[in-house]
Structure 1
Amino acid sequence: MKPHKQLFYEYATLHRPYMNQLNAQLAPFHLSLPLWLMMRILYHEGEHTISRLSEKRNVEKPTTTKMVQRLEELQLVEARSGSDRRTRNIHLTEHGLEVSQQAEAKISHYQESLLEGVSEEERLLVARVLQDISKNIVKYKG
């Protein structure tokens, strides 16, 4: 198999099992991966508007609004009125902060176990390659 085909085959092969396991890791927190990724932005970057969260996650605003509503139901986020009454600033609650810390630790432990035997140099190389591929996907005109 050609090297570029091998790379994408390996990625495709690991993607679903990895996502399934992440969802299993998040299940005790009543979170799915998309909800967790939204919380992770708030945890690491602080308060954001619905529009900004949509941009960061590359999803439509109605989808982001539904996700934020679900996180509000779980009492993990709250919305504050922004400087313009039409905007809402979303932030983690105290409970959301605690859950974020616990979920982050659990996922980090899982990820570290997956990288057992992989050197730091190899980890950084793979990360750079995936970042480059991601940029090329965005630029691709087909």
Structure 2
Amino acid sequence: MESLVFHHIQQLSRDVNQYLNEALKDENISMSHWSVIFQLHINEQMTQSELKAQLNIEAPPLSRTLTRLEELGYVHKFSSIDKRTNNIVLTSKGKANYTRWQRAIQQAEDCLIEEFGSDRKQELDQLTLLLSSIIRKQGGK
């Protein structure tokens, strides 16, 4: 019998993105924007190459996302000292809105967890982190 686990995981990822995009619809950003904003919030400054690697995203969609975030005034991109890479940071406007966006994401997650159950959430967290760890270890071979 064939396993559909990874198909279900891929579909779940799409469903979660769609659900969270709905939660962010009044915030003028999407999940692709949020993923960049979140990384910049955590790391303070990253190169485009670092973001690409961290988010596991191809260069063209990342460039489009960064361009849109620049147009909205949420990120600033500038050349590094050696001029070979671009450094990206959250602007003061991006930082000022971060808490509101994070709260929208958290409220959406809380709503799902209420239906799912907190015990199951802890189990899901553990299994998700374990699977990610295994995948990263296997990918390193």
Q: TM-score range by the shorter chain?
A: 0.7 to 0.9
Once the two structures are aligned, what percentage of the paired residues are identical? 27
Q: Assess if the C-alpha contact under 8 Å between 1:78 and 1:93 holds in 2.
A: yes
Please name the residue that 1:53 is paired with.
51
Q: Assess if the C-alpha contact under 8 Å between 1:29 and 1:99 holds in 2.
A: no
Please name the residue that 1:128 is paired with.
126
1:73 CA drift (Å)? 0.6
Please name the residue that 2:28 is paired with.
30
- Which digits, 9 at most, give the CA deviation of each residue in 1:4-59, with x for residues without a partner? 76x66765664444321211112222212111101110112211000000000011
Please name the residue that 1:104 is paired with.
102
Counterparts of 1:51-130 in structure 2, within 5 Å, are 51-116=49-114, 118-119=117-118, 121-130=119-128
Q: Which stretch shifts more, 62-71 or 86-95?
A: 62-71
Aligned residues between the structures: 138
Structure 1: runs of 5 or more not aligned: none
The 1:123/1:81 distance shift into structure 2, 3 A limit, reads: same
CA RMSD of aligned residues (A): 2.7
Q: Assess if the C-alpha contact under 8 Å between 1:71 and 1:77 holds in 2.
A: yes
1:118 CA drift (Å)? 1.9
- TM-score between the two structures when normalised by the length of structure 2: 0.81
- TM-score between the two structures when normalised by the length of structure 1: 0.80
Aligned mates of 1:82, 1:12 — CA distance in 2: 36
Structure 2: runs of 5 or more not aligned: none
Aligned mates of 1:69, 1:9 — CA distance in 2: 32
The 1:68/1:15 distance shift into structure 2, 3 A limit, reads: closer
1:80 CA drift (Å)? 2.6
Please name the residue that 2:17 is paired with.
19
